[in-house]
Amino acid sequence: MLTVANPIYDIVFKYLMEDERIAKTILSALLKKVVVNVAMRRNEYSNIGRNGLSIFRIDFGATIREADGSQHLILIELQKTWAETETLRFRQYLGAQYANTENMLPKSEGGYGIPIVTVYLLGHRVGDIEEPVLYVHRHAYDYDDRQVTKGLPDPFVESLTHDSIIVQIPLLRGQINNRLEKILSIFDQTRTDSHDKHMLNLDEANYADDADMQIILNRLLAAAADAKMRHDMNVEDEYFSVIESRDTTIMQQAKKLAENKIELAEKEQKLVEQKEELAEKEQKLAEKDQKLAEKEQKLAEQEGMLRTTVKLLVGEGMSPEAVAINLNKDLETVKRLLNS
């Protein structure tokens, strides 16, 4: 077994990709094409987001050879991240590539944009996708959904669209079934040393017949023996420990905020229910008041009819006593009606 530096760390990954032959080997395997030559571009690498999640980026200019022997220049934007981050960051960096005039061919060569391929090495899974390596290729179609191949690739189309390769490092899981998986096995975190996560334990027998892999292993061995490299890996650990602690605090605060929101929503719901209950009571009281007013109105109407009858009978010569007896009313009521 070989114990080598873990290239999931930015400092090791940068050291690895600074070697042109290694960069050609890794990129050729990812692209599934021969990379004739490759060079890091200006501002070739950057560790972005020290106030947020780390995204390590390297931009390459690469000449690739197609199956028909033709060669052409492409740009490769390789981004590596340990942890989940919002896709907006990736889009922003990609947008900067499209906007960079240095990524355009000279007018003498058409003035088109140099084709871009994005490669994402992710330390986390993407949704429910189970493939460790995902190739996202472009295709062109007409209105009837028939694929268009004549005239393609075209420099105008290549200038405005791009292919992507997404590597889900957690899904590598020790598998070596092809050339790419053999190369990506150096990122397989199931091989992390149980006593030192800065190191990977690799079975040398898996790479004995591969000269390119021997060069990669030798460089990772050199990184493992470099005291400054190990120090920088410790710094990365400390940084991510702070980030993890911060994110844990944010998650706890977010959880508490969510609980408070639920509690507030429940209180608001109870208040709404109480308001509805009060409104129902007020409605019932209003209905009772309405019925009482109707009864009073009815009684007033009845009393008015009775007054008219009393006065009519007295006016015809009947005594109040006789009216009271005749209407089955007490004498006081009859006298009150006569005087009202």
Cα angle vertex 298, ends 292, 304, to 5°? Answer: 135
Lowest pLDDT segment from 34-48, 62-76, 221-235, 260-274: 34-48
Q: Is 94 exposed, middle or buried (0-12, 13-18, 19+ CB in 10 A)?
A: middle
Q: Is 19 exposed, middle or buried (0-12, 13-18, 19+ CB in 10 A)?
A: middle
The predicted model gives 232-251 an average pLDDT of 70
How far apart CA 207 and CA 257 sit, in angstroms, is 52
More confident residue, 172 or 240: 172
Q: Which residues of 172-198 are buried (b: 16+ CB within 10 A; e: fewer)?
A: beeebeeebbbbbbbbbeebeeeeeeb
**Predicted pLDDT at 50:** 44
pLDDT at 295 over 60: yes
Confidence of residue 247 (pLDDT cuts 50, 70, 90): low
Within a 10 A sphere around the Cβ of 10, how many other Cβ atoms?
21
How far apart CA 296 and CA 33 sit, in angstroms, is 98
3-state secondary structure 176-225: CCCHHHHHHHHHCHHHECCCCCCEEEECHHHHCCCHHHHHHHHHHHHHHH
The predicted model gives 298-317 an average pLDDT of 87
- Predicted TM-score (pTM) of the model is 0.66
The predicted model gives 172-184 an average pLDDT of 86
Alpha helices in the chain (DSSP H): 10-17, 20-31, 87-99, 155-160, 179-184, 211-225, 227-315, 320-327, 331-339
Output the average pLDDT for the chain: 86
Q: In this predicted model, what pLDDT tens digit does every residue of 95-134 receive, in sequence order?
A: 878 888 878 888 877 888 888 999 999 988 888 998 999 9
More confident residue, 75 or 84: 75
Residues 6+ apart with CB under 8 A from 29: 179, 180, 183, 184
The predicted model gives 251-272 an average pLDDT of 89
**Predicted pLDDT at 252:** 80
**Predicted pLDDT at 253:** 85
Confidence of residue 159 (pLDDT cuts 50, 70, 90): confident
**Predicted pLDDT at 327:** 85
Q: Crossing angle for the helix pair 227-315 and 331-339, nearest 10 degrees?
A: 90
Within a 10 A sphere around the Cβ of 295, how many other Cβ atoms?
10
More confident residue, 251 or 28: 28
3-state secondary structure 56-83: EEEEEEEEEECCCCCEEEEEEEEEEECC
Instruction: Give backbone dihedrals phi and psi of 173, rounded to 5 degrees, phi first.
Output: 50, 45
pLDDT at 245 over 80: no
Q: Crossing angle for the helix pair 320-327 and 227-315, nearest 10 degrees?
A: 130
Q: In this predicted model, what pLDDT tens digit does every residue of 18-72 receive, in sequence order?
A: 999 999 999 999 999 999 999 887 655 555 544 444 678 888 999 999 989 999 9
Q: What percent of the chain has pLDDT over 70?
A: 91
The candidate with the shortest Cα–Cα distance to 118, out of 37, 16, 237, 30, is 30
**Predicted pLDDT at 143:** 92
Q: What percent of the chain has pLDDT over 90?
A: 42
